[in-house]
């Protein structure tokens, strides 16, 4: 396994992490026993970053990860979980970064994860109804008591990031980033307050923060396995992504087709190319890559075993240039 090191995080971090959203059962092909095997296999292959959130499966993903890491495995990894998305009995979510909410969320996460500390505690989405000062004060409190080690921001505008940085140390950022979503303005139907390539990357580079891109395979689109009209089961949460439906999907699918032709030419799988492209960005610390099977995890790992050449990177840039701002 390859590792990267940034100033703001003491540990070296594997360039491939495991995204645990599917552990919550909201994707096809996810079950608890399989998810636990994925975690153990990842650790055996040198992966040491596991990214999760309370809202993934409404607590289930954290619970599954906690079971998988119980015992001696916990000390070998960095757990990155989140706070700020609260749900009700109908599973409707609201953004809440108030002191009262975060104090409850951290204790709930620790219980589900069966641990007494979280390595990287990330604010999942902005909450513009809570003063940043209030959020900072509770983060300081739970860091002082040892419940969290590092603080990360996910999906924040760089203006807000710098406001946070003026009050408290920010160790990492997380943002949507892949070959076809470089400066996109939305995730599913949620507006984004940042442009990853133009705004987030310069900030993490300047301040030596860790950067964890999520959705590196565009929720599976960059595996090349999708059909021209999509192919999700009725319960699959990806049905809610407007980019994977209608005219927008057709445009993205054209990009995938061009990338598949390139992949065939260099005789490499498209999913490995997509992860490789991200990994070779200096600003990218660890890629949050989901895996619904051991085979898929192994494919993710294989992307670390070779490099795209400069010529190949230039050719990819020509293919994906039309997608830089959509």
Positions marked catalytic: 56
d(C-alpha 154, C-alpha 210), whole Å: 12
- Tokens, residue 47: 């992966």
Measuring CA to CA, how many Å separate 12 from each of 192, 285, 297? Answer: 29, 9, 20
Measuring CA to CA, how many Å separate 62 from each of 139, 240, 266, 302? Answer: 20, 22, 39, 26
Within 10 angstroms of residue 309's Cβ, the number of other Cβ atoms is 10
Residue 103 sits at φ, ψ, to 5 deg, of -60, -40
Cα 99-104-106 angle, rounded to 5 deg: 95
Torsion of CA 25, 31, 33, 39, to 10 degrees: -60
d(C-alpha 300, C-alpha 35), whole Å: 15
Cα 31-34-37 angle, rounded to 5 deg: 150
Residue 296 CA from chain centroid, whole number: 16
Cβ-proximal residues to 121 (8 Å cutoff; 6+ apart), any chain: 80, 81, 82, 83, 106, 139, 142, 147, 148, 149, 150, 151, 152
Burial label, 215 (beta-carbon count in 10 A; 0-12, 13-18, 19+) = buried
Cβ-proximal residues to 314 (8 Å cutoff; 6+ apart), any chain: none
């Amino acid at each position: 396994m390859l590792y990267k090191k940034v100033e703001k995080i003491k540990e070296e971090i594997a360039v491939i992490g495991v995204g645990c959203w599917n552990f919550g059962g909201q994707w096809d092909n996810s079950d608890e026993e399989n998810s636990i095997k994925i975690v153990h296999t990842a650790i055996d292959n040198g992966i040491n970053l596991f990214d999760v959130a309370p809202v993934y499966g409404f607590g289930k993903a954290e619970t599954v990860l906690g079971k998988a890491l119980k015992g001696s495995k916990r000390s070998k990894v960095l757990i990155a979980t989140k706070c700020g998305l609260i749900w009700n009995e109908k599973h409707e979510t609201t953004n809440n970064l108030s002191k009262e909410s975060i104090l409850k969320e951290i204790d709930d996460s620790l219980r589900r994860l069966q641990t007494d500390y979280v390595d990287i505690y990330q604010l999942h989405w902005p909450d513009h109804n809570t003063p940043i000062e209030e959020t900072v004060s509770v983060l300081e409190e739970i860091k002082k008591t040892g419940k969290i080690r590092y603080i990360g921001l996910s999906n924040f505008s760089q203006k807000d990031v710098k406001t946070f940085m003026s009050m408290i140390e920010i160790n990492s950022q997380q943002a949507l980033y892949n070959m076809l979503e470089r400066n996109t303005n939305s995730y599913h139907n949620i507006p984004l307050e940042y442009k990853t390539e133009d705004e987030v990357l310069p900030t993490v580079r300047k301040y030596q923060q860790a950067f964890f891109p999520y959705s590196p395979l565009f929720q599976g689109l960059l595996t090349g396995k999708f059909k021209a009209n999509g192919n999700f089961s009725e319960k699959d949460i990806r049905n809610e992504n407007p980019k994977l439906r209608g005219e927008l999907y057709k445009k993205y699918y054209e990009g995938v087709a061009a990338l598949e032709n390139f992949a065939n030419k260099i005789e490499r799988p498209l999913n490995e190319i997509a992860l490789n492209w991200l990994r070779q960005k200096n600003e990218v610390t660890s890629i949050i890559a989901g895996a619904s099977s051991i085979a898929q995890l192994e494919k993710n790992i294989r992307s670390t075993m070779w490099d795209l050449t400069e010529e190949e990177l230039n050719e990819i840039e020509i293919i994906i240039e039309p997608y830089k701002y959509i």
